[in-house]
Chain A
Amino acid sequence: MTAIIKASGLGKRYRRRWALSGCTLDIPAGQVVGLVGPNGAGKTTLLHLAAGLLQPTTGTIEVLGGPPPATPAQLARVGFVAQDSPTYSALSVADHLRLGAHLNPGWDAAMASERIERLGLEPRQRAGKLSGGERAQLALTLALAKRPEVLLLDEPVASLDPLARREFLQGLMEAVADQGLSVVLSSHLVADLERVCDYLIVLIASQVQIAGPVEHLLTTHHLLTGPRRDPARLPEDQHVISARHTDRQTTLTVRTEGPILDPAWVVSPIGLEDLVLAYMSRTAATKRRPELEVQR
């Protein structure tokens, strides 16, 4: 199967700051991919590069086996909803659907109007008067109705209340089940992504920290507690992500492919949220950057 996104050494620089650097990814198709990281980590930049809205400074990126979409044929295969779900505030819901029909070659008008009806959106309502959740659903409808092969969503639920958030994800998952769509969605909250993603990319401080299927990540990362020990003395194949010490005890987050045989350690599984936090604290330790709060 073609990879959704394949990047090699991808980087983007604005003036003097690197928004993204050394990004290498190979994301298989047929997945719901979560892109998680704190604000300013480079998630929007990566999605814009994949959507063809930005040109890379260094490296290469391939989307669905070709360059990021530029021609109408390529654009028809990639859907994108930018942050805050931009819509034309002066145009009505029905106008937006007409817009989609006029501009997209593969527009599924029946699916679009059925979805709008099911969501309870009033067709004559101006988009500027819709609530945040309704606008997000409208933007999602526009992206889904052109029947793309891959859908890129930039923080789609960030500013939505819990009910709107749940409804958005329900609709999105239905579309995935229906159309066999691949999805890449970004968020700075792990909780949003845990339910829906089967592939996770952790992006912190403009670099990819770890990427892989969620199941694999959960089985290869462990929490180790035991008597106080120097992390450097662990075996080669056990990579310490974060370490915490009291005067008697050491708690480590460790990534390893093999089993942990040392009986001194109490090995516990680790949830996704704590996994991401561990990587964030590792980056913070190396860069002395204030830790960001991850909200539930």
Chain B
Amino acid sequence: MIDFHLDAHSGVAPYLQLIHQVRQALRLGLLSEGDQLPTVKDVVGLLAINPNTVLKAYRELEYEGLVAARPGVGTFVTRTLGDGSPAAIAPLRRELQRWLGKARRAGLDEESIEALMLTTFRSATEAEEDIA
């Protein structure tokens, strides 16, 4: 089961943050088909937010076809996201960790690493879109 967290000052609506965290968990393989999402009661008991917020997030996810609510039982994942299977993700993560180690040894600080990653990611995505 995943755990939610809330960034009250990010400017992003709480329900959107919850949706985002579910999608991210699906992508990273932390949630797979058939897993149960935390109950509304558990989420509000942890985050101290309005239950309607959680209900809204879950309804939105259901509308997107990612989860399904079973009355009296809970909300369950119906389909995963992301094209990479969990098997593919693990080696990619290891490679990334190795690269990060190299960057640090080369003397880059955190901001430089982040900037390098983001600019490369963006230009690569643009290049892909140009091709596509």
A interface vs B, CB < 8 Å? 30-32, 166, 169-174, 176-178, 194-198, 269
Contacts and interface: CB of A to CB of B under 8 A. Distances in A.
B44 A177 contact: yes
25 contacts: A32-B50, A166-B48, A169-B48, A170-B45, A170-B47, A170-B48, A172-B48, A173-B48, A173-B49, A173-B51, A174-B41, A176-B51, A177-B40, A177-B41, A177-B44, A177-B45, A177-B54, A194-B8, A195-B6, A195-B47, A196-B48, A196-B50, A197-B50, A198-B52, A269-B11
Shortest beta-carbon contacts, A-B, top 9 = A173-B44, A169-B48, A177-B51, A177-B41, A174-B45, A170-B48, A177-B40, A195-B49, A198-B50
Contacts of A269: 11
Contacts of A31: 52
Contacts of B52: 30-32, 198
Interface of B: 6, 8, 11, 14, 40-41, 44-54
Nearest to A165: B48
Contacts, number: 48
Nearest to A174: B45
Contacts of A170: 44-48
A32 B50 CA distance: 7
A173 B45 contact: yes
A176 B45 CA distance: 10
Nearest to B41: A177
B49 A178 contact: no
Interface of A (DSSP majority class): helix
Given A30-B52, A166-B48, A176-B51, 16 more contacts: A31-B52, A170-B46, A170-B47, A171-B45, A173-B51, A174-B44, A177-B54, A178-B41, A195-B14, A195-B47, A195-B49, A195-B50, A196-B48, A196-B49, A198-B50, A269-B11
Contacts of A194: 8
Given A166-B48, A170-B46, A170-B48, A195 B8 contact: yes
Nearest to A269: B11
Contacts of B11: 269
Nearest to A271: B11
A80 B41 CA distance: 22
Contacts of B49: 173, 195-196
